[in-house]
Structure 1
Amino acid sequence: MTNLALRDALANARHRLDAALADAGRAPDGATLLAVSKTKPAAMIREAHALGQRDFGENYLQEALEKQEALADLDDIVWHFIGPLQSNKTRDVAEHFAWVHSLEREKIARRLDAQRPETLPPLNVCLQVNISDEPSKSGVSVADLPALAEAVLAMPNLRLRGLMAIPAPADDPAAQRRPFARLREALEDLRERFPEARLDALSMGMSGDLEAAVAEGATQVRLGTAIFGARDTSA
């Protein structure tokens, strides 16, 4: 992707987000664009940064660490880990990311809490919810969500911010909105249970369902192909 193409794609993504917020009657700054940069080179992230993008989501830890090293001079990038999180990855994630969107087990939370350096602020985390109850999907069930949230809220080096979900694909806007509404309702329930917590994040919505997610209150939308183009699968 050329500089011009990336500029246009990023501008189009921002326009979509702005329009969705306006259509939903929400504040212009009500949601953040999270650029999903997995498989894309550090040079492309640098170009997006020069165009004003600051939040980047990575799925693959080793690839992300290499990019972070290459981009260490850009000290205002906010790195989000959005991929599956296993025990052998927690230390590097705890040390090198500002956000984790894919927390679904107390064991992983305890490792992140123990391994977060004292020199860094608490790690922002979202609990991944299997909002469509798909057997093949990761995420905690809505029924088990309060117990996991209570455990995470007691961990001093983690800051529970909200929920994340990747619903089953749907083409109809009304069908797209239903799981996002359930996730919003689950967050509202947690706010009632834990009024002292700062639960302000709904990480939901991708290229195909951004508008539906924003209509239901998304605060972070994850766009990859719409910004960076299709992944190169020829390697």
Structure 2
Amino acid sequence: MSTIPESVAKVRARIREAAQASGRDPQDVQLLAVSKTKPAGALREAFACGQRDFGENYLQEALAKQAELADLALTWHFIGPIQSNKTRALAEHFAWVHSVDRLKIAQRLSEQRPAQLPPLNLCLQVNVSGEASKSGCAPAELAALAGAVAELPNLRLRGLMAIPEPT
């Protein structure tokens, strides 16, 4: 079993190789470590290896880790499904939200983003393969959703997120 420093080094090496193979600068690739279900101590160890961005999809677990790791300069990403009753905590405690699939959620995030924080970075979730088991807006609805979200004052539309079927 690999240690966290070994795992981080291996992933960064793979990123470097893939970036170079595609003619990209490896410095332009950002690694998001999915830290759900991992203890705060493991995140602290990854931080010591240079990892700064962490993705969580269980809100209560994330908030506990954020409190425990408040002494570290971490960037928190929410990567899970969003319920309307969770938007205030997301708007207050995260720098990124990766799974917005409807305007109502985006509006709530914008309204609830504290004024002293920079705009919330947002990725729209698209159900590219049309699977009933997956969340996300339909590709045909994407342009309208993106246009409406881009107009919201406390959000910064940064891109798309999709989990296509394996084939």
TM-score, length-normalised on structure 2? 0.97
Residue matched to 1:148: 145
Distance 2:12 2:135 in 1: 29
Residues 47-62 of structure 1 aligned to structure 2 (within 5 Å): 47-62=45-60
Amino acid across the alignment from 2:102: R
Distance 2:58 2:3 in 1: 25
Unaligned runs of at least 5 residues, structure 2: none
Amino acid across the alignment from 2:34: V
Q: Greater relative contact order: 1 or 2 (C-alpha under 8 angstroms, separation 6 or more)?
A: 1
**Offset from partner CA, 1:143-173 (integer Å, 9 cap, x none):** 1001101111110000101111111124xxx
Unaligned runs of at least 5 residues, structure 1: 171-235
2:116 to 110, 115, 119: 119
SS of alignment partner, residue 22 of structure 1: helix
Task: Give the RMSD, CA atoms, in angstroms.
Answer: 1.1
Following TM superposition, by how much is the alpha carbon of 1:28 offset from its aligned partner in structure 2, in angstroms?
1.8
Following TM superposition, by how much is the alpha carbon of 1:24 offset from its aligned partner in structure 2, in angstroms?
1.0
Residue matched to 1:96: 93
Distance 2:91 2:160 in 1: 18
Amino acid across the alignment from 1:85: I
Q: Is 1:135 the equivalent of 2:123?
A: no
- Taking only the aligned residue pairs, the percentage that are identical comes to 65
TM-score, length-normalised on structure 1? 0.69
Residue matched to 2:6: 8
Distance 2:42 2:163 in 1: 25
Residues 33-112 of structure 1 aligned to structure 2 (within 5 Å): 33-74=31-72, 76-112=73-109
Q: Is 1:25 the equivalent of 2:23?
A: yes
**Offset from partner CA, 1:54-93 (integer Å, 9 cap, x none):** 000001000000000000011x200000000110110000
Distance 1:39 1:72 in 2: 18
User: After TM superposition, what 4+ stretches of structure 1 lie above 6 angstroms from structure 2?
Assistant: none
Following TM superposition, by how much is the alpha carbon of 1:30 offset from its aligned partner in structure 2, in angstroms?
2.5
Residue matched to 1:218: none
